[in-house]
Amino acid sequence: MTIQQLKYIVALDEERHFARAAEVCMVTQPGLTIQLKNLEEEIGIKIFDRNKVPLTPTILGTEIINKARKILREADEIRDFVVNEKNLLEGELKLGIISTLSPYLIPLFIKAMKEAAPKVHFIIKEGYTGHLMRDLEIGAIDAAIMATPTGNPNLIEHVIFKEPFVAYLNESHPMAKEDFYELQPGDKTELLLLHHEYCYNAQLLDICGLKSSDKIKEQFTYDINSIETLKNLVRAHLGFAIIPQLSILNEAKSELFKPFKEPIPVREISLVVSDSFSKKLLLEKMNEAIWNCLPESLKKDFAYRKIRWNDSPYFVKAISKVS
């Protein structure tokens, strides 16, 4: 028994004529006749007396048609409910965001979303990539802003923008006076990484052509989680860093950061949801709000190469420790 078959018997009851009912249902008359026959055989009851003119329901057929009308009304209510849920701009939304992006994007995002969806209450959680992917799958968060692709078939990714990486150097670095940064032979052991940020570190190693087994700093192991701490270590002449462009949003006059030459290494930033996420309009509003609050430099077209992380052996090996 299908919803379509129930629609057919209701149309037949209203039209009392096969040809007219088929026209109303936008189906061929033989097709409608076959579906009626299939339904009657399935339930073992004749719904219509075909010997009478006009077509007349049987006594039990009348009861079945009345129940069909009720079921179709409830199906319409379900459809309306789903449409309303998809377009609802109120309620609560748990939003995760990677820690290398959160301090720089969230203040801009919150301001934009206050105007776009003032009735939505956002609960924002910073986290590492692996943790956010897990939280999306188990329903602990509703959406996440993170670097993609994730390589996870259970998640849906809506790309928002490409964020360039820049080199953050101290004044004594050989490239400090240059317009663009190019990796120097001595830089490979000076690269500063973030503890636990596996996808971010995998991207940096990819940019520099390093493997996870390559030694970076031997005397000190930095157990840090903040890009701002990386920047302070650079200022103290303890290495150099490759950081996302949004992290220097308020340092326009600084000479410590240097862009890369084209094709510029970038990370892809997306809104990621589970395949069961239903609030489509809210997702569109969030996507639009993030794009609109970005600085103009991130909206321009430029030649780039996307730095992946999900297929990095370093990431796969590291992430298995926290899964």
- What are the per-10-residue average pLDDT scores of the chain (323 residues)? 92 92 93 93 92 89 93 82 69 91 91 87 90 91 91 90 91 89 81 70 71 48 73 88 89 84 89 88 89 88 68 48 45
Query: Sign of torsion, CA 224 228 231 232?
Result: negative
Place of tokens 């101290």: 170
- The pLDDT of residue 52: 84
- The pLDDT of residue 86: 65
- The pLDDT of residue 198: 57
Amino acid identity of residue 117, one-letter, is A
Place of tokens 């730095």: 307
Query: 3-state SS of 240-262?
Result: EEEEEHHHHCCCCCCCCEEEECC
Q: Compute CA 53 distance to the chain's CA centroid, rounded to the nearest angstrom.
A: 58
What the chain holds in terms of domains, given with CATH numbers, is 3-86 (1.10.10.10), 90-162+267-301 (3.40.190.10), 164-265 (3.40.190.10)
Alpha helices, DSSP H, located in 121-197? 129-138
- The pLDDT of residue 84: 65
- Tell me the two tokens of residue 289: 């709000």
Place of tokens 């317009």: 179
Strands 143-148 and 56-57: unpaired
10 Å CB burial of residue 314 (0-12, 13-18, 19+) is buried
| C-beta of residue 47 within 8 angstroms of C-beta of residue 56 | no
Alpha-carbon span 287 to 307, nearest angstrom = 22
- The pLDDT of residue 75: 85
Alpha-carbon span 53 to 68, nearest angstrom = 23
| C-beta of residue 93 within 8 angstroms of C-beta of residue 282 | yes
CB-based contacts of 132-136 (< 8 A; 24+ apart in sequence)? 132/96, 132/97, 132/98, 132/272, 133/272, 134/323, 135/96, 136/96, 136/272, 136/273, 136/274
pTM comes to 0.68
10 Å CB burial of residue 303 (0-12, 13-18, 19+) is exposed
Alpha-carbon span 270 to 41, nearest angstrom = 51
Q: Which of 253, 224, 256 is nearest to 240 (CA)?
A: 256
The DSSP code for 186 is G
Alpha-carbon span 321 to 310, nearest angstrom = 15
Round the CA-based radius of gyration of the chain to a whole number and report it: 30
Alpha-carbon span 100 to 320, nearest angstrom = 20
Alpha-carbon span 27 to 98, nearest angstrom = 52
- In whole angstroms, how far apart are CA 23 and each of 17, 55, 80, 311? 10, 16, 25, 54
- Tell me the two tokens of residue 74: 């409830």
Q: Which of 198, 227, 266, 207 is nearest to 104 (CA)?
A: 227
